[in-house]
Copies of this chain bind each other. A is one copy, B any other.
């Protein structure tokens, strides 16, 4: 191998862009990920609520990077990093040597020390999570239809979403729409449109990353969709179908966890101090203080902006960091140039509340409503990696918009014997 091999761990928004940038410059790259696909995570909630199919928002990594001769893709799980020997250990396969190491393994959901809750309230980070949530959601209605007990039907048709950030708001809104429109005419013994969708938020308002007036707008819109939003309602306990929140016991048919994220455990392998959320504090050029030729970016990194304020854990931050680092590393390797600090350009922070209702925050300007929704839809269709997916998703959205039909309402087994 040459002395310029870059190993990138993680094929999310950040890692893909680093690999792409280096690959275009002809620099040898090994991109390692546990999954064979790059996931368009901002639309994952639509798979969980049966609007899109998994393949609509997931592209094989090999396909995304095809044509970049110097980029090698490895399907593998990283189990160790030896910074002295400059190797990455894999679960199945020989160790991989690096000259430069880039880690972008993102974040996963956190139950704040209550990992046992994950059995009853799964979180949403992967295609498997989304498929599981979809099956549970649809099964809750199927079971209510089978039941002849009114209290049991009411319980089964109570869906709780825990956490009022963008994911929680998006899930609650689209579950309400699923029940009120798509499923409304499907049953004989229940009225799906009477389902209770709860959004439980521990803090005083939802969408705390957004200005107050956008939170207020989202609250009003969710109420209109039929979502019951409860703020200042921290969840204290989850056991099976019982959620205890603020002293009150709520019986639910299904619960989804959208309350917290923690950084990927790979940060721990570096032996550097981590923040409370498990993130690696990096320099403004995304390098790790005290380690040579190692970079961390995306949701795994705590990146300061020019004022020292940490950047938010957003897809657009990860993507811009990836583009920046890909170019900076290429310049460093090819021309020996020092890496420049990363500057984030805010393209607008957004959350979707429901059909024709979104919020946008550009910092200097905020807006909400149907125009925000169309703006959001347009941007997301455009952003989806790969031409086929853009086209498919656009057609499906258009179709669903006209018919209120749902795209992918499959209940599949969660476990196989094999």
Residues of A within 8 A of B (CB): 35-37, 53-56, 58, 60, 62-63, 66-67, 72-76, 92-94, 119, 122, 127-128, 131-132, 138-139, 142-143, 145-146, 148, 185-188, 388, 391-392, 395-396, 399, 405, 407-416, 418
A-B contact pairs, 10 of them (CB 8 A): A36-B411, A37-B410, A53-B53, A54-B408, A55-B409, A60-B409, A63-B405, A127-B410, A388-B396, A415-B416
Chain B residues with Cβ under 8 A from A36's Cβ? 138, 142, 409-411
A116 CB to nearest B CB, Å = 12
A94 touches which one: B142, B148, B388, B396 (CB < 8 A)? B148
Do A412 and B53 form a contact, CB below 8 Å, given A92-B146, A146-B93? no
Count chain B CB atoms within 10 A of each CB in A35, A60, A139 and give the residue with the most: A60
Chain B residues with Cβ under 8 A from A53's Cβ? 53-56, 408
A392 touches which one: B54, B138, B395 (CB < 8 A)? B395
Q: Is the CB of A63 within 8 A of B409?
A: yes
A353 CB to nearest B CB, Å = 25
Chain B residues with Cβ under 8 A from A73's Cβ? 186
Chain B residues with Cβ under 8 A from A131's Cβ? 412
Chain B residues with Cβ under 8 A from A412's Cβ? 54, 127-128, 131
In whole angstroms, what is the CA distance A58 to B406 when docked?
12
Q: Is the CB of B76 within 8 A of A146?
A: yes
A192 CB to nearest B CB, Å = 10
Q: How many copies does the complex hold?
A: 2
Q: Is the CB of B55 within 8 A of A408?
A: yes
A53 CB to nearest B CB, Å = 4
Q: Is the CB of B411 within 8 A of A418?
A: no
**A186 nearest in chain B by CB position:** B62
Chain B residues with Cβ under 8 A from A410's Cβ? 36-37, 54-55, 58, 60, 127
Ranked 3 nearest A-B pairs via Cβ: A55-B408, A62-B186, A36-B411
Chain B residues with Cβ under 8 A from A75's Cβ? 139, 142, 145-146, 411
Q: Is the CB of B93 within 8 A of A188?
A: no
**A37 nearest in chain B by CB position:** B410
A381 CB to nearest B CB, Å = 15
In whole angstroms, what is the CA distance A122 to B417 when docked?
12
Q: Is the CB of A399 within 8 A of B388?
A: yes
Chain B residues with Cβ under 8 A from A93's Cβ? 146
Chain B residues with Cβ under 8 A from A392's Cβ? 392, 395-396
A416 touches which one: B37, B132, B408 (CB < 8 A)? B132
A146 touches which one: B74, B388, B405 (CB < 8 A)? B74
Chain B residues with Cβ under 8 A from A416's Cβ? 128, 132, 414-415
In whole angstroms, what is the CA distance A93 to B149 when docked?
12
Chain B residues with Cβ under 8 A from A413's Cβ? 128
Count chain B CB atoms within 10 A of each CB in A36, A119, A128, A392 and give the residue with the most: A36
In whole angstroms, what is the CA distance A414 to B416 when docked?
6
A56 CB to nearest B CB, Å = 8
Q: Is the CB of B418 within 8 A of A119?
A: yes
Chain B residues with Cβ under 8 A from A63's Cβ? 186, 405, 409
A412 CB to nearest B CB, Å = 6
Q: Given A36-B138, A36-B411, A58-B410, output 4 extra A-B contacts at Cβ < 8 Å.
A: A53-B408, A55-B407, A127-B410, A388-B405
Q: Is the CB of A66 within 8 A of B122?
A: no
Count chain B CB atoms within 10 A of each CB in A53, A66, A145 and give the residue with the most: A53
A214 CB to nearest B CB, Å = 33
Count chain B CB atoms within 10 A of each CB in A62, A122, A185, A399 and give the residue with the most: A62
A368 CB to nearest B CB, Å = 30
In whole angstroms, what is the CA distance A391 to B131 when docked?
24
Chain B residues with Cβ under 8 A from A396's Cβ? 388, 392
